[in-house]
Structure 1
Amino acid sequence: MSRYFFYNVILVSLLNLMLFVPYLLIQYRYKGAIMSMLCAAIVGTALALLFMHVMKTFPGKGLPEILRLFMPKPLTIPILIVCAVMWLTASSITMYAFSVLINRFFNPDTSSLVVLVFMCLVCMYAATRSTLTVIFVLEVGLIVCVPIIVFLLFKAFNSPMLDWDAIRTVSHYWNRGPQVKPFAASLFVFTGYMNFFMFNRLNSPNFRLRFRWGTPIFCSLILLTSFFIPIGFHGTEGAADYLYIWSVTSDTLIMSYGFIERVIFVFLLMYLMLSLIFAMIGWHMGMEMIKSCLPEKKEAIDPARTPRSNWVIVGLFAVLTVAYAYWFNEKENLKITSHWIVLRACVEIVSVLFVFVLSLFGSGKRKKLVSHENTSHNAASPDGA
């Protein structure tokens, strides 16, 4: 089961390479971006390790079940709704951004709204599946995409067009103090572990997370790559002129492999798949949060039939996403996203610390949970545990 934790970390960290995180960091390249990334790496690593330590004490339980152990259900509903909105917003922003990219680089004659509708239909079907199915789809998607993306990043590092002098120039500003927005943007790269607020339902009581040291190393490398490589290709000033900086950066690379020449087409296809998987997980998480607010109803982790409530809730998510894209343009979406990233960082920190406090002051209930785990735990681990 350890690999599924790292799958979520890898998904979120790689996906942020194509979205607004590099743009926000580059805007602060002279005003504390490097120190903000360093602080985010420390805080993100500490939160991830603390989070997994806490969730290990609640095997087979997601956030709704944990909250219900310590709080009456009416008090848990606002918390779960806030969490559902955060996951819905992350998924909707991602799909909106990629619908614009697909429209711009693949089919400019088609409205980005039409592209978004088709993406929502795909995610609707995927998100309504069981939690077990969702995490299996994540595994297959990463097995397909990650080797190709890593290969393309390796080509970028070895490109003769990469100007290391521009990278060294920006690195001289390492001693500028951290800022809130670049810190929050950098912290987003480390936030894949948050998906285990629901995927923890799949963990068996003997779950152990090995190779924890890999999380800060991988996320830090992706963070540095997303920031410095565009600067090396476009210069210290030119890098700030692009919103989707990595789409332009990938278009500067070429390959001589048969019919594949422009890297951008391969790059966008891989990230289209990752964005759909990310949205699938986000909508599934939000759906499960909202279902936990409804009258209690026992459901298996891998039910034989998809409940109707899944379609209703995820259908509402799709309508809200399309409505968001209809009401707001790219500039407005950028402003909303920059503020949302800061809010998300605050919610993430508060959520992890809140669950940690519950684990400290609920030792009696944790013992009761463990003693009844074998009889109440109906979730089968993907590893067969």
Structure 2
Amino acid sequence: MSRYFYYNVVLVSLLNLMLFVPYMLMQYRYNGAILSMLCAAVVGTTLALLYTRVMRKFPGRGLPEILSLYLPKWLSVPFLLFCAFMWLTAASISMYAFSVLINRFFNPDTSSIIVLVFMALVCLYSATRSTLTVMFVVEVGLMVCAPVILFLLFKAVRSQMLDWDAIRTVAHYWNRTPRIEPFAAALFVFTGYMNFFMFNRLFSPNFRLRYRWILPIFCGLILITTFIVPIGFHGTEGVADYLYVWSVTSDTLIMSYGFIERVIFVFLLLYLMLSLIFATIGWHMAMEMVKACLPKPKTDIDPARTPRSNWVIVGVFAALTVAYGYFFDEKQNLRFTSQWIVARAYGEILSVLFIFALSLFGSGKKKKLVSHETTSTNAAGADGA
């Protein structure tokens, strides 16, 4: 079961290449990006390890169930709605950005809104599936995409076109003071563990997460690759001219493998799948948190039939996403996304610390609930006997 945890970490860390994380890092390449990435690696690793330790105390429980142990409904609902908004925004931003990329590189004659509508319809169906099904979708998608993406990243690092002098020039600015914007952008690479605010429902009480030392190594390597490869291909100054810098970077790669001569087409198709999977997770997480705010919420990781509420809630998400793509242009989306990434960093740190504080100072109420559940289980067993 440990692999499902790492699937989410790998998914989010790889997806950052096609979002605005590289762009934000490049804007601060002379003004604190390197130390900001180092600080983000330390903070992200610490939060991930702290979070995994805390969630081990709540096997089989998602965030709504954990909050119900310690907080009244009127306190837990605003926190759940805030988390739902953050995951909904992450999914919608990634879908909008990728609809623009598909429109620009594959079919410029088609409106990006049409592409966004089709992507929203796909995610509308997939996000309404059960939590267990969504996790299986993540597994299958990564088994297909991740090996090819990692191979392409390896080829990019080993390319003869990579200018290491440009990379060394930027590396000389390693001692500049860290800034909050590149720190927040780099921290996003380490944030895949946050998906287990809901997917923790799938894990049994005897679950043990092994090989946690992989987290800083893998995410750190992806973060370094995200930063240095575009600089090596486009130079210290030219790298700041591109919004979707990794799309242009992949277009500079040429493979002598027949139909994979231009890497950008394979690269975008792979990231289209990852973007849809990421949006599916985001909408599904937001849906489950909204459902937990309703009266008499039901927790079922694999229901026999899809509840009608799933279609209604995710349908609203799809409509909001299409409306966002219609009323906002790329510049407005970039400005909003940059602000959202900073807000998400604050929200991530405070959320993990908040759950950690609840686990420390709310042990009495938890023991009372566990005792009540044990009594109920024993009573049910006696009735069955």
Per the normalisation by structure 2, the TM-score is 0.96
Aligned equivalents of 2:225, 2:366: Cα separation in 1: 41
| Residues 372 and 203 (structure 1), Cα distance of their counterparts in 2 relative to 1, 3 Å cut | farther
Structure 1 residue 31 corresponds to structure 2 residue 15: no
Alignment root-mean-square deviation, CA: 1.3
Runs of 4+ in 1 over 6 A off after TM superposition: 372-377
Following TM superposition, by how much is the alpha carbon of 1:364 offset from its aligned partner in structure 2, in angstroms? 2.2
Aligned equivalents of 2:59, 2:279: Cα separation in 1: 26
2:255 maps to which residue? 255
Task: Name structure 2 gaps, 5 residues minimum.
Answer: 378-385
1:190 maps to which residue? 190
Structure 1 residue 102 corresponds to structure 2 residue 110: no
Following TM superposition, by how much is the alpha carbon of 1:159 offset from its aligned partner in structure 2, in angstroms? 1.0
Written as runs of structure 1 = structure 2, the 5 A alignment for 1:74-93 is 74-93=74-93
Structure 1 letter corresponding to 2:344: R
Query: Percent identity over the alignment?
Result: 78
2:151 maps to which residue? 151
Per the normalisation by structure 1, the TM-score is 0.96
Following TM superposition, by how much is the alpha carbon of 1:209 offset from its aligned partner in structure 2, in angstroms? 0.8
**Alignment partner of 2:256: what SS?**
strand
The question of whether the paired residues in 1 share the 8 Å contact of 2:70 and 2:366 is answered with: no
Structure 2 letter corresponding to 1:133: T
1:165 maps to which residue? 165
The question of whether the paired residues in 2 share the 8 Å contact of 1:58 and 1:366 is answered with: no
**Alignment partner of 2:261: what SS?**
strand
Following TM superposition, by how much is the alpha carbon of 1:259 offset from its aligned partner in structure 2, in angstroms? 2.3
1:4 maps to which residue? 4
Could you give the per-residue CA deviations for residues 33-85 of structure 1, whole angstroms, max 9, x where no partner exists?
Answer: 00000000000000001111111101111111111111111211111110000
**Alignment partner of 1:304: what SS?**
coil
Structure 1 residue 54 corresponds to structure 2 residue 54: yes
1:138 maps to which residue? 138
2:180 maps to which residue? 180
Could you give the per-residue CA deviations for residues 109-142 of structure 1, whole angstroms, max 9, x where no partner exists?
Answer: 1000000000000000000000000001000000
Following TM superposition, by how much is the alpha carbon of 1:333 offset from its aligned partner in structure 2, in angstroms? 0.4
The question of whether the paired residues in 2 share the 8 Å contact of 1:25 and 1:227 is answered with: yes
1:67 maps to which residue? 67
Following TM superposition, by how much is the alpha carbon of 1:370 offset from its aligned partner in structure 2, in angstroms? 4.8
**Alignment partner of 1:259: what SS?**
helix
Aligned equivalents of 1:291, 1:376: Cα separation in 2: 25
The question of whether the paired residues in 2 share the 8 Å contact of 1:58 and 1:369 is answered with: no
| Residues 229 and 372 (structure 1), Cα distance of their counterparts in 2 relative to 1, 3 Å cut | farther
1:380 maps to which residue? none
Task: Name structure 1 gaps, 5 residues minimum.
Answer: 378-385
Following TM superposition, by how much is the alpha carbon of 1:260 offset from its aligned partner in structure 2, in angstroms? 2.3
1:351 maps to which residue? 351
Aligned equivalents of 2:165, 2:325: Cα separation in 1: 40
Structure 2 letter corresponding to 1:339: Q
The question of whether the paired residues in 1 share the 8 Å contact of 2:162 and 2:232 is answered with: yes
Structure 1 residue 363 corresponds to structure 2 residue 363: yes
Aligned equivalents of 1:112, 1:90: Cα separation in 2: 18
Aligned equivalents of 1:371, 1:107: Cα separation in 2: 60
How many residue pairs get aligned? The number is 377
Aligned equivalents of 1:76, 1:257: Cα separation in 2: 54
**Alignment partner of 1:256: what SS?**
coil
- More displaced 10-residue stretch of structure 1: 293-302 or 119-128: 293-302
Aligned equivalents of 2:195, 2:376: Cα separation in 1: 23
Aligned equivalents of 1:90, 1:219: Cα separation in 2: 19
